[in-house]
Amino acid sequence: MNFLEQRIAKDGIVKPGNVLKVDSFLNHQMDIALMEEIGREFHRRFADKPITKVLTIEASGIGIACFAAKEFGVPMVFAKKSKSINIEGEMYIAEVESFTHKNKNQIIVSKKFLSSEDHLLIIDDFLANGCALQGLISIAEAAGATVEGLGIVIEKGFQIGGKVIRNLGYRLESLAIVDAMDPDTGTITFREQ
Amino acid sequence: MNFLEQRIAKDGIVKPGNVLKVDSFLNHQMDIALMEEIGREFHRRFADKPITKVLTIEASGIGIACFAAKEFGVPMVFAKKSKSINIEGEMYIAEVESFTHKNKNQIIVSKKFLSSEDHLLIIDDFLANGCALQGLISIAEAAGATVEGLGIVIEKGFQIGGKVIRNLGYRLESLAIVDAMDPDTGTITFREQ
């Protein structure tokens, strides 16, 4: 097991309904040393790519994306989930359905911050059905930017998202892929990578 | 002018209605080197305090809070703006009105992540009417935690929030306090500190 799988096995909590709670270290309370290690690992995996920006989506992707962007020495841009009066002018917009919150959101990125010159690393904490990633990809493509790769912290391998993204031809790296979870025993089965 | 005031003067955009747009470096696209410098500055200003956790609120506070927490070597906890099915059990809850989005939100923090043992540094990007900070303070107090200080990137000095928080006896450090903005000339007047 890699460092992340070890941490998930130690502190992740399996709940009925295929819910994996990692809120003690990843998406509510954040272990900053772990975030830094995740950032370094994404940099290692995409070191061959000429990344100009890291793109993520609020909220829990932001911390991870910050530390990945730090490693690449590039800015980070996060897509927002609803129109703010502080964002005006031209925006890229995509529709995203949330598995967690069971609702639909528009996600938006100001056109000022993505262009055809950009080579993007797209980052998020979780990949399940892939709707959020597809929204980010569609925004990147609308900008004419190159999606060099996608970095996910935890992929739910038993859901469709990873397969869809890989079938589209994108390079997707998930630091941990959970293939099965048993809420009765708390056992988490990781895919060998 | 300090490093942040210089950056605001250079890249901040003043819009009618007392709107200061800093989305090119602070709260939509993030300049990571600037975030790191902000984190170091908060550490310098609160180095005398026995900080055990940094507390912020999603979404744009997260990046700054991450780099502040990194400097202190402590975890970061961010309050969430709506109930998620991934957060269960006992939670601290506060009601917060958003100036930017003109709506009300409940903000919540899991009771697992704050206790009477904690000495908190509360971080946010903007301080205007102070509702978000007061929500975070009320959550900290409900947990019995000690609020050692509050660190703000940009305070709108012409709004009530800063005065309210300071009158409550809290140590509030704002890296830049904007006392006036002129949308016609783009001039930003910072308070001497």
What pLDDT does residue A82 have? 73
- Percent of chain B having pLDDT more than 70? 94
What pLDDT does residue A105 have? 80
pLDDT digits (tens, 9 = 90+) for B148-171: 999 999 999 999 999 999 999 999
B23 contact residues in A (CB cutoff 8 A): 86-87, 110, 112-113
CA-angle at A18, arms to A177 and A169, nearest 5°: 40
| HEC letters along B84-98 | CCCCCCCEEEEEEEE
What pLDDT does residue B65 have? 98
User: What integer best gives the mean pLDDT of chain B?
Assistant: 94
Whether B160 contacts chain A with CB within 8 A: no
What pLDDT does residue B99 have? 63
A112 contact residues in B (CB cutoff 8 A): 23-24, 29
- As a whole number, mean pLDDT of residues B9-27 equals 96
pLDDT digits (tens, 9 = 90+) for A30-47: 999 999 999 999 999 999
- As a whole number, mean pLDDT of residues B13-42 equals 97
What pLDDT does residue B103 have? 75
What pLDDT does residue A53 have? 98
Q: How far apart are CA B67 and CA A149, in angstroms?
A: 25
A75 contact residues in B (CB cutoff 8 A): 29-32
Q: How far apart are CA B127 and CA A193, in angstroms?
A: 46
**Which tokens hold the place of A114?**
């993505």
Q: Which residues pair with A120 in a beta bridge?
A: A53, A147
Sorted by sequence, the CB contacts under 8 Å of residue A142 that are 6+ apart come out as A92
Nearest residue in A to B57, CA atom:
A59
Let me know: does A95 contact A135? Beta carbons within 8 Å.
yes
Whether A13 contacts chain B with CB within 8 A: no
pLDDT digits (tens, 9 = 90+) for A60-113: 999 999 999 999 999 999 999 875 544 556 899 998 876 666 777 899 999 999
What pLDDT does residue A83 have? 56
pLDDT > 80? residue B117: yes
- Omega cis (within 30) before B9: no
Residue B176 Rama label (left phi>0; alpha psi -120 to 50; beta): beta
Let me know: does B124 contact B154? Beta carbons within 8 Å.
no
pLDDT digits (tens, 9 = 90+) for A166-183: 999 999 999 999 999 999
Name the residue with tokens 């528009």: A106
Whether A40 contacts chain B with CB within 8 A: no
What pLDDT does residue B88 have? 53
Coil/strand/helix, residue B166: helix
Let me know: does B154 contact B178? Beta carbons within 8 Å.
yes
Q: How far apart are CA B3 and CA A145, in angstroms?
A: 31
Higher pLDDT, A85 or A17: A17
Range with lowest mean pLDDT among A18-32, B79-93, B103-117: B79-93
Provide the pLDDT confidence category of residue B141 given band limits of 50, 70 and 90: very high
CA-angle at A116, arms to A114 and A122, nearest 5°: 55
pTM: 0.95
Sorted by sequence, the CB contacts under 8 Å of residue A83 that are 6+ apart come out as A106, A108
**Which tokens hold the place of B81?**
């703006």
What pLDDT does residue A1 have? 94
Predicted complex ipTM exceeds 0.90? yes
Buried b (16+ CB within 10 A) or exposed e, A62-95: bbbbbbbbbbbebbbbbbbbeebebbeeebbebe
Which residue in A21, A76, A88 is closest to B86 by CB distance? A21
For chain A, give the number of residues: 193
Higher pLDDT, A84 or B189: B189
pLDDT digits (tens, 9 = 90+) for A104-147: 789 999 999 999 999 999 999 999 999 999 999 999 999 999 99
CA dihedral A150, A155, A159, A164 (to 10 degrees): 10
B82 contact residues in A (CB cutoff 8 A): 101
